[in-house]
Amino acid sequence: MTNIDELVETLARDAAVVRPAPHPFMMSVKWMGAAAIYLVLTLVVTGLRPDLMSKLHDPWFVAEIAALSAIFIATSLSAALLSFPDLHQKRWVAFAPAFLLALFLLIIFFSWNADNPPAPLPPDTYECTTCIVLVALLPAAWIFFSMRKYASTHYRLAGGIALLSALSIGALWLRLHELNNSIAHVIEWHYLPMIGFGILGLWLGRVILKW
């Protein structure tokens, strides 16, 4: 009996303190706050587009920026929920980005339809895609590192959503920085490549988040 008591005391003394996991909402707020600071600092370094004040009178541009910001918020929250096996019993919140993406596509369609006659294409092509990816690298690395600490059972979807969240930061930066009024260019070199990278995120989720 004495040996058992000593064993229990030893185990209790040597047991590591386990910190409870933060609530997904708090996780997402932390991610969004850091990403917002990162976006502002990046814009301070690179500068805002010179016609930004006049573009803010364009309702379709404002709707595009608002929808892109909403996608970033929704994907950040979704990624946090997908980090946990039970999604914190908030499945409908975890899959909310699907609705916002549909709304975003509708806004882009109406914006493209309103671009008549079409604005001239800028000289840049794949450079825009490259810039979005480069700006998204740091947020993507941080969010994947944070999610790796938990036990996602939806690792493919979590990876795709996490990468989409990071890419939305890059896309926001470029729309606020690049002097470009061609929605056709934006569709081709800003948003369509994000679909491909989102698919890449499914693979990254399997590699990085699977446990």
Provide the pLDDT for residue 204.
86
Rounded to 5°, the CA angle 57-48-52 comes to: 10
Q: How confident is the model at residue 55 (pLDDT cuts 50, 70, 90)?
A: very high
Question: Nearest CA to 118 among 50, 177, 186?
Answer: 186
Report the chain's mean pLDDT, rounded to a whole number: 87
Above 70 in pLDDT, residue 13? no
What sign does the CA torsion over 73, 78, 83, 87 have?
Answer: positive
176 touches 69 (CB < 8 A): no
Question: Which residue ranges make up each domain of the chain?
Answer: 51-208
Range 81-104 average pLDDT: 85
- State how far the alpha carbon of 36 is from the alpha carbons of 101, 156, 171, in Å: 20, 25, 13
